[in-house]
Amino acid sequence: MPATDFRIALIGYGYAGKTFHAPLINATPGLTLVAVGSSQQASVQADLGDAIDVSADYQAVIQLADIDLVVIASPNDSHAPLAELALQAGKHVVVDKPFALSLEQAQKLTALAQQKQLLLSVFHNRRFDADFIALQQLLASNTLGGIAHLESRFDRFRPEVRQRWREQAGPGAGLWFDLGPHLLDQALVLFGLPKQLQATLKQLRPGATACDWFSVYLDYGHFGVTLGASMLSAAPSPRFTLQCQQGNWQKFGLDVQEDQLKQGLTPLSNGWGQDPRPAMLYHSDNATEMLLAPGCYQQYYSAIAAALRGEGPNPVPAEQACDVMYLLQLAEQSAANGEVIAVSTKL
């Protein structure tokens, strides 16, 4: 390992740790994964090699003396306490989404990182989806004129409730805390905080004990954004539908990078991030295919390495992730009380 590499400890080797973080870290020059907090020692070492230090004692892994950065990919309810432990131990920290369970927790961590002068970042990887990057560029170009409405959806067909913590009742579980952070973060990157919001969160599948359907409307005054997700969407639905004064833009299908990671591909593989399905650009009666540039999840950890070297900004500052936590919380309040809630710009 080069002497200049930053040494990484990954906490949690479930879906997020195994599928996203470990492969992306290993594909990033300047970062070296040396330790994993997991009870699955055989599985971790089969995937990552015998040289990886594996322990089920998360606290011990976090406090290893030679670790520079701790990546937290454990269940949602453990994000805040483990991040606090790592910061108190003098480690830089990356936290998988959601940042925490509440805005209060998120703000406490943000203040602690500032006090300790440590990097604290949240893994909002969907900023690096091919379709989202194309949407950003389209809006910046003003090709379609003023925006009227954006619908952003993550739909799946999983009619059976699975026995996994994400789908069972409990803090940080359910579809809103699982996929809501992605959709909220993208909306905030594009437009900032809305003026008000209204949310409906439901449990629609037989036996469901956590949210498995949501629709959240963000009101920006002269335009709006609808965020939605369902576990009962068997028919194809658009990932994005943008309505503007001079036309529409629409994209079907999810970004390919998650599926590629599940197949064992990495950013070093041929065809990485390349979505073969074009978006469609509609002007009056004309429909034009719009090919997408490849998605680039690798840019997140490349930016983390640069930030640790003092050569670039934090790709997702904790302050931005606090805004996501704020809207996650407000939406739960809106859904519980059936009300439209004003959004404050002063947190």
72 falls within a domain: yes
Same domain for 72 and 182?
A: no
Pair 109, 138 in one domain: no
Q: Which amino acid is at 202?
A: K
Let me know whether 150 and 240 are in one domain: yes
Give the model confidence (pLDDT) of 119-170 as tens digits. Answer: 999 999 999 999 999 999 999 999 999 999 999 999 999 999 888 777 888 8
Question: Is 173 in the same domain as 289?
Answer: yes
| Residue finishing a domain among 72, 95, 123 | 123
- How many domains does the structure of the chain reveal? 2
CB 332 within 8 A of CB 103: no
pLDDT bracket for residue 346 (50, 70, 90): low
Burial grade of 66 (CB within 10 A; 0-12, 13-18, 19 or more): exposed
Same domain, 181 and 208: yes
Token representation of residue 107: 């703000």
Q: Which of 123, 152, 185 is a domain's end point?
A: 123
The reported pLDDT for the residue numbered 172 is: 80
Look up tokens 């070492």; give the residue.
45
Q: Is 314 contained in some domain?
A: no
Residues 19 and 114 in one domain: yes
Residues 247 and 170 in one domain: yes
Q: What would the pLDDT profile of 242-295 be if each residue is shown by its tens digit? A: 999 999 999 999 999 999 999 999 999 999 999 999 999 998 778 999 999 999
Residues 141 and 104 occupy one common structural domain: no
Q: Could you please report the per-residue DSSP string of 33-49?
A: EEEEE-S-HHHHHHHH-
Question: 106 and 203 share a domain?
Answer: no
Average pLDDT over residues 20-45: 96
State which residues form the domain around 91.
Answer: 6-123
In contact, 209 and 203? CB cutoff 8 Å: yes
The answer on pLDDT for 304 being more than 60 is yes
Same domain as 283, residue 158: yes
At position 176, the amino acid (one-letter code) is W
Could you tell me if residue 97 is inside a domain? yes
Residue 12 backbone phi and psi in degrees, to 5: 105, 130
Helices (H), the chain: 15, 22-26, 41-48, 58-62, 79-88, 103-116, 130-141, 175-191, 257-262, 298-308, 318-337
